[in-house]
Structure 1
């Protein structure tokens, strides 16, 4: 069970689920609908994680990915296929229980994640599933609650998704290159990934601040923190640019929730 859980990519899955749950609170989703929204998002993330490791199993074995449970043998492909199928069934049911339109929007988000796993990640369009999934997630939450979300929710979330994609791929560049995966981050190269991610994430911050129009002290504080981190991305040595870009992403996620 531990290996099967590890094959879900638990960190990203939990992060996206928590973000959806927090946004659902701000969207005036009632307790029952909140449970449905969180369950739909979590099951969708489980299906994306398991399908990713199933599809990449041969590649992961080729590159000796001991951190991948299916490749390492701590979970079987058969177990993952059954678990993935159950997650898909749960995701469809829970999504549609949130309302037909809202449910279809969320299923489109999950389909975008699957499209990434099935091949888009190896193309210059690798960023698109992240933009669709993150942006669409906020639309799903809004429709499941009080109605259409403000324009800046999906815009900022889509930018946050693209930034997350760029940063998420960075540790796997060597393995991906060995197996012929050349998405947008690979074409940018290690030197440019963090700066481009920072630019995207700073833009997301600006969109949130413009759309939400929080108090002036909040605008000043957030702007100062984000711009300082962006400078670190551009000039710092070693892993500091990568760390600073991740912190910008976290600031954007927190800001999206707190000012919504």
Structure 2
């Protein structure tokens, strides 16, 4: 009666520490799935065929995994100061070299996937990934911490409106109001993603925008404000998309 559950727990623990599972955890899978799923749904709503929706989903999943691995690599030493951090790289379960290898493989995969959406659409998505990578290194500790998020999200309507199937696919420019709303959505997502780490960031001396606001109004009001901001941005995008469409 006692050895069976113990053996099962040991198997689960061993599985949790295998390299594929550790890489999955380090890829920030929740954020990757939400972002990829949201863009795939937007592509479906805009009338794109199934294979193009699946392509959008795959492209964004790989791109988000690259961003997740890079984020954990950049923050590895800081996260390691608070063990257990819950992050495989910081806790020493995942070798940094393995994560870098996965990141490079992800980049080599996301480039052809992006271009398969069309050269212009692919360039827009690759630019958003590039902005995210830069944002993992700079601007994240000050007033302008929101800027990479806003810029990356503002590129998503370009990725969708110019997208199609194959490198020769062409589209039309996105509606400017949708670009602006996507940027606002990125700011809201930035605040929501920053909320769980506010205490640690404060102890480390970081002063990004969400932390500065939280120090003034409190974390709970900031959560309510960020949720309302994000929901309103999504709702506005749905209304605008339904009334004028995605592209001009």
The TM-score bracket by the shorter chain reads 0.7 to 0.9
Q: Deviations over 1:162-190 (max 9, x none)?
A: 11111211110111122232211111125
Is 1:7 aligned to 2:36, yes or no?
Answer: no
Q: Tell me the distance in 1 between the aligned counterparts of 2:235 and 2:227.
A: 12
Aligned to 2:91: 72
Q: Tell me the distance in 1 between the aligned counterparts of 2:238 and 2:58.
A: 30
Q: Tell me the distance in 1 between the aligned counterparts of 2:190 and 2:160.
A: 21
Q: Tell me the distance in 1 between the aligned counterparts of 2:149 and 2:172.
A: 23
Structure 1 pair 159–102 and aligned structure 2 pair: CA distance change class (3 A): same
Aligned equivalent of 2:213, options 185, 188, 197? 188
Shift of 1:205: 5.2
Aligned to 1:44: 63
Contact 1:160 1:201 (8 Å CA) reproduced: yes
Q: Deviations over 1:62-107 (max 9, x none)?
A: 1224211111122211111100111111111111221111111111
RMSD of the alignment, in Å?
A: 2.4
Is 1:96 aligned to 2:115, yes or no?
Answer: yes
Contact 1:48 1:114 (8 Å CA) reproduced: yes
Aligned equivalent of 2:182, options 153, 157, 170? 157
Report the number of matched residues.
216
Q: Deviations over 1:177-215 (max 9, x none)?
A: 22232211111125153354256336525633662567x
Is 1:29 aligned to 2:54, yes or no?
Answer: no
Select the structure with the greater relative contact order (CA < 8 A; seq sep ≥ 6): 1
TM-score (norm 1): 0.75
Shift of 1:54: 0.4
Q: Tell me the distance in 2 between the aligned counterparts of 1:7 and 1:115.
A: 18
Contact 2:74 2:137 (8 Å CA) reproduced: yes
* Bigger helix fraction: 1
Structure 1, gaps ≥5 residues long: 215-255
Q: Tell me the distance in 2 between the aligned counterparts of 1:143 and 1:131.
A: 19
Aligned to 2:11: none
Q: Tell me the distance in 2 between the aligned counterparts of 1:133 and 1:109.
A: 4
Q: Tell me the distance in 2 between the aligned counterparts of 1:127 and 1:79.
A: 30
Q: Tell me the distance in 2 between the aligned counterparts of 1:77 and 1:213.
A: 45
- Runs of 4+ aligned residues of structure 1 deviating over 4 Å after TM superposition are none
The structure that has the greater radius of gyration is 2
Structure 1 pair 17–199 and aligned structure 2 pair: CA distance change class (3 A): closer
Q: Tell me the distance in 2 between the aligned counterparts of 1:188 and 1:15.
A: 25
Aligned to 2:191: 166
Q: Tell me the distance in 1 between the aligned counterparts of 2:35 and 2:201.
A: 24
Is 1:86 aligned to 2:115, yes or no?
Answer: no
